[in-house]
Amino acid sequence: MNLLLDRFCRVLDGAMVLLLALMVVLVFGNVVLRYAFDSGITVSEELSRWLFVWMTFLGAIVAIKEHGHLGTDMLVSRLPKAGKKACLIVGHLLMLYVTWLLFQGSLAQTKINWDVEAPVSGASMAIFYGAGVFFAVFAGLLLLRETWRALTGRITDEELVMVQESEDVAQVHDLHMDEPPKR
């Protein structure tokens, strides 16, 4: 299962790279055309916005899988193992609820906008709102998997605190790890 998830996340990583490259080409190309040739790509702004939304939701799926979302463990890290496990399960249940709400709302918007055309491209606006549906389905599955692992005791002690401190805090911590103990 882990191999399948790793491959899926690599596919999402590749898709994000492609979406970012397309955004750069569209926006940069449009800027050059506007300033150098007094013309532009009409669909560039709309398509770039859609690509950005999809890229963001795909990245959020990968971050859930890799436990890469920022958070703080000031309280949870001080709890005993049972307390950490309880907080993890409650947190996952709350995230599952929010993911369900996002799924319902995105699905409703996708259905409502199925026949609505985008102003410039004429594409269905359902493509835009479909990003939320895609995210909610896969994020929900990942959260269910992690919740199940916690409930069945298949989660390690290190995984019980599933947040990542900010990069600044991690860098400061790493710098101070090399210092000799103070007396």
In this structure, is residue 182 part of a structural domain? no
Q: Return the pLDDT at 69.
A: 76
Q: Return the pLDDT at 21.
A: 96
Q: Return the pLDDT at 165.
A: 59
Res 181 pLDDT > 80? no
Q: In which band, very low, low, confident or very high, does the pLDDT at 163 lie, cut at 50, 70 and 90?
A: low
pLDDT 10s digits, 168-180: 555 655 666 655 5
In this structure, is residue 183 part of a structural domain? no
pLDDT 10s digits, 57-97: 999 999 999 888 777 777 777 888 888 888 889 989 999 99
* C-alpha triplet 157, 162, 166: angle, nearest 5°: 125
Number of structural domains found in the chain: 1
Res 48 pLDDT > 80? yes
Q: Return the pLDDT at 75.
A: 79
Q: What percent of the chain has pLDDT over 90?
A: 53
Question: Quick one: which of 63, 45, 52, 16 has its CA closest to 128?
Answer: 52
In this structure, is residue 89 part of a structural domain? yes
Question: How large is the average pLDDT for residues 163-169?
Answer: 58
Domain of residue 15 covers 2-177
